[in-house]
Structure 1
Amino acid sequence: MTLARPHFVTVGTQQSRLWQAGAGAPVVVLPGLVQAASEIAGRLARLAPELGCFVFELPGTGGSAEVAFDSLDEVAAALQAAIEAAGLRDAPVLAFDLATPIARLLQGRRVFVDVAPAQGWAARMPSLPGLAPRADGTHLNALFAHLRDAHVLDACSGRRAAREGNPLPSPEALDAMLLAASARPAAYARLWSLCCDGMRRRADERGAASLEDALAQLRAQATAAPVVLARPAPTPSIWRDHVHTPRGRVHVRQSGPDRSPLIALHSAPGSAAPLQPLLHGLGARRRVIAPDYIGNGDSDKVDTPVDIATLAQDTLAVADALGLRRFDLWGTHTGALIALEAALIAPERIGRVILEAPPLLAPDFTADLLAHYFPALPPDGWGLYLQQAWNMRRDMFLFWPWYRAERAAARPLDVPEASFLHDWVVGLLSSGATYHRTYRAAFEYDTPSRLPLLRRPALVCAGPADMLAEGLRTARSLLGPAAAVSSTPATVWYPGQDRQAVDATIAMYAQFLDAPEEA
């Protein structure tokens, strides 16, 4: 059972994410800068299930990464607005470590915990070493070392292991905070500096002796009625939400006006984040919904084998949760197979279908992929898994398949900019131990036998840089007259694509989707 539940709150054009634990009198929680909000929410659910704890991810981190700020006052103002939008204005505030100076700027009653280590960090390391993405990925190792040392080392000296303090975090807990901080590393580093400056200005600050003592104070202060969070309001651009399906909670991105809905299905193994050009482009005239698959991205992690048919049922369940009776589908790579299967399972609900680069590979090649493509990437206590994840993602642009590092397997692509590759690696890491489930399902799917059964109007396509583009020839031989097969000028979610080519590809999609139904 999941102890903490994520929600988004919309304020103007921006969204903040919070994690809810418990269901009693509400308490607002600021998680500080060395523990993930999700981890703190889970801990509070175990220690104080009678309280309704709402743990807000700080601006610039995690699901609040796009909340902009230049000063501590702006950080506090953004949080205050999100707190009020969530209906939590009267709730007391619990602040961990370096969130203490932020809480001082908020309205209402406040309780602080882990103040002493925060004062030590503020005095000893008021700023962080550069966390800007590096071509070799070592900025992630630097961030991991910073987070680990914040827990392991004496806060004042920074040179010996601390003998007192909270239990040391597990590798999984460190990974959760790394993902939150790496959503926007520069923003995290800026927030650290601002909070350290705020701590130094209040060097005499004192907090509760322990979290248990802090919770005892909060039990006396938290008297408001329980709060039920509303669905987040749309923004003018892309907004995020969660929907509930029979297999678990699904994280979705949405854009566009409430008409002509299209569900866009991403490539494994990360999330739908790379589909933002599609959400912006097609969202100009229609509602576009891009879910993260269960097991990937920010959706629930169900660690059991899965097949494409199950993922197609998940897609239909997302449509049910959003009240969509009929909709179009767009899918790329793994997503193309899920879109295909959904159109076969429920053709009466599907309008038009775009399948970008559905995998159509020789059986012996598929067997080789299934044997080698999915190395385990479990978090470890030193962050060694980060280099494996980085270089695996990097080599996907150098070789096909990525593990075949030889001249004959070289791809005609440039290595992406470090910032782009950073986002792709974070997307992979966000899927955690279940990243391979949907990937494996795609390579196990019998595309050649399922594709000829498609009866909905379909466009099967691929851009010139796509390693699966050669499958278009096979697709053409398998499909019936209802389908068109065509190359596109670009793969809109790939790096380094020409802007005009991307726009032309989006226009091709829109023209196909807007075509009238044939009698």
Structure 2
Amino acid sequence: MRKHYADTPHGQIHYIASGTGDPLFLLHQTPRSSDEYRDVIPLVSDNHHVIAMDTLGFGASDSPDEPWTIELFAAGVLALADSLNIQQFDIVGHHTGGVVGIEVAASNPQRVRSLVLSGVPYVDAERRRKVALGPTIDGVPLSTDGSHLKQLRQKRAPFYPLDRPDLLDRLLVDALKVGARVEEGHQAVNNYRMEDRIESVYAPTLILCGELDTFSLPDVPRLVAHLRDSRQSILPGTGVPSVDHKPDQFAKEVLRFLDSLAAQ
């Protein structure tokens, strides 16, 4: 795995590259970074040119001053692909990354060969109202004594396995890099009009979700219903952090899907 930076119209984008073959973009959840995929990358790079990028505003990528939107994040993906002279590619997106993947595939269907949506909610008017009325996901007021870090950890702890505190540590590191805008990625998802865009996705799609992911699991049937060419797979024994919690299991499902398309 090699670390790189690419200059784009939106600023520098940091990404990790590995392997050779068909390009495969890996897009992370909020407030993570390409680190979320660090254990998956070696498992999928034997026959794929893997590009695990830090979404604009996250990790080591530049943070645009303008309001963050899914459309902006998607523009960053396309700008990175352009800078690397990659015309067509597959996308794996986890939570926020999956929503970004939908927008990339909807806005540029000729460039996205296939799409893996992992733990992705179906965002429509009903969900927007529900989420807007609920508590923040990662947003906590800053404190002089650092107690906001404990509050953030406590917010996320119910979604993470008790025996893997290291996964929460990795999330906290990424959240600290984002800083005061940590909730803005979630807000971008909730403001996105997925119901107006998903019908424009033509790429074959795999819908993945951990069986313990109570945030997104109920929306799997809705995604299936709105996508033209989709299949689904439920990952046992894992939830929201399925990518870094069960990397072997996650990579196996992604490769099975990609291999099935290559065999057609």
TM-score range, shorter chain: 0.7 to 0.9
Q: Which residue of 1 aligns with 2:68?
A: 306
The 5 Å alignment of 1:276-291 reads 276-291=38-53
Q: 2:13 aligns with which of 238, 245, 250?
A: 250
Q: 1:518 deviation in Å?
A: 9.1
* AA matched with 2:137: Y
Q: Classify 1:366/1:323 alpha carbon distance in 2 versus 1 (closer, same or farther; 3 Å).
A: same
Q: 1:320 deviation in Å?
A: 0.9
Q: 2:137 aligns with which of 352, 367, 373?
A: 373
**Is 1:263 matched with 2:28?**
no
Larger Cα-atom Rg: 1
**Is 1:427 matched with 2:174?**
yes
* AA matched with 1:470: P
Q: Which residue of 1 aligns with 2:248?
A: 503
Give per-residue Cα distances to partners, 1:460-514, cap 9 Å, x unaligned: 121112231121022122222x11123234564243x4xxxx4343222112112
Q: Classify 1:376/1:305 alpha carbon distance in 2 versus 1 (closer, same or farther; 3 Å).
A: farther
TM-score (norm 1): 0.46
Give per-residue Cα distances to partners, 1:369-410, cap 9 Å, x unaligned: 4x63353555x7x4x3x3313331332232xxxxxxxxxxxx
Q: 1:430 deviation in Å?
A: 1.0
Unmatched runs of 5 consecutive residues or more in structure 2: none
Q: Do the aligned partners of 1:269 and 1:438 also contact (CA within 8 Å) in 2? A: yes
Q: Classify 1:247/1:376 alpha carbon distance in 2 versus 1 (closer, same or farther; 3 Å).
A: farther
Q: Which residue of 2 aligns with 1:115?
A: none
TM-score (norm 2): 0.87
The 5 Å alignment of 1:94-113 reads none
Q: Which residue of 2 aligns with 1:240?
A: 3
Give per-residue Cα distances to partners, 1:400-449, cap 9 Å, x unaligned: xxxxxxxxxxx6x5335443322221111011233233221111112233
Q: Do the aligned partners of 1:262 and 1:329 also contact (CA within 8 Å) in 2? A: yes
Matches of 1:447 and 1:517 in 2, distance apart? 28
Q: 1:394 aligns with which of 133, 154, 179?
A: 154
Q: 1:272 deviation in Å?
A: 1.7
Matches of 2:76 and 2:89 in 1, distance apart? 15
Q: Do the aligned partners of 2:128 and 2:191 also contact (CA within 8 Å) in 1? A: no
* AA matched with 1:508: E
Q: Which residue of 2 aligns with 1:335?
A: 97
**Is 1:470 matched with 2:218?**
yes
Q: Which residue of 2 aligns with 1:440?
A: 187
Matches of 1:242 and 1:341 in 2, distance apart? 23
* AA matched with 1:249: Q
- State the structure with bigger RCO (CA 8 A, min sep 6), 1 or 2: 2
Matches of 1:349 and 1:390 in 2, distance apart? 42
Q: Which residue of 2 aligns with 1:296?
A: 58
Q: Classify 1:437/1:372 alpha carbon distance in 2 versus 1 (closer, same or farther; 3 Å).
A: closer
Q: Do the aligned partners of 2:106 and 2:198 also contact (CA within 8 Å) in 1? A: no
The 5 Å alignment of 1:210-249 reads 238-249=1-12
Q: 1:298 deviation in Å?
A: 1.0
Give per-residue Cα distances to partners, 1:188-216, cap 9 Å, x unaligned: xxxxxxxxxxxxxxxxxxxxxxxxxxxxx
* AA matched with 1:279: I
Q: Which residue of 2 aligns with 1:27?
A: none
Q: Classify 1:297/1:505 alpha carbon distance in 2 versus 1 (closer, same or farther; 3 Å).
A: closer
**SS across alignment from 1:348:** coil
TM-align CA RMSD: 2.3
Q: 1:277 deviation in Å?
A: 2.0
Matches of 2:191 and 2:111 in 1, distance apart? 26
Matches of 2:157 and 2:138 in 1, distance apart? 16
Matches of 1:485 and 1:419 in 2, distance apart? 29
Q: Classify 1:323/1:390 alpha carbon distance in 2 versus 1 (closer, same or farther; 3 Å).
A: farther
Q: Do the aligned partners of 1:394 and 1:421 also contact (CA within 8 Å) in 2? A: no
**SS across alignment from 1:324:** coil
* AA matched with 2:147: Q
Q: Classify 1:488/1:373 alpha carbon distance in 2 versus 1 (closer, same or farther; 3 Å).
A: closer
Q: Do the aligned partners of 1:394 and 1:415 also contact (CA within 8 Å) in 2? A: no
Q: 2:207 aligns with which of 460, 469, 473?
A: 460
Q: Classify 1:297/1:486 alpha carbon distance in 2 versus 1 (closer, same or farther; 3 Å).
A: same
Q: Classify 1:266/1:492 alpha carbon distance in 2 versus 1 (closer, same or farther; 3 Å).
A: same
Give per-residue Cα distances to partners, 1:16-52, cap 9 Å, x unaligned: xxxxxxxxxxxxxxxxxxxxxxxxxxxxxxxxxxxxx
Q: 1:341 deviation in Å?
A: 0.6
Give per-residue Cα distances to partners, 1:95-130, cap 9 Å, x unaligned: xxxxxxxxxxxxxxxxxxxxxxxxxxxxxxxxxxxx
Q: Which residue of 2 aligns with 1:486?
A: 233
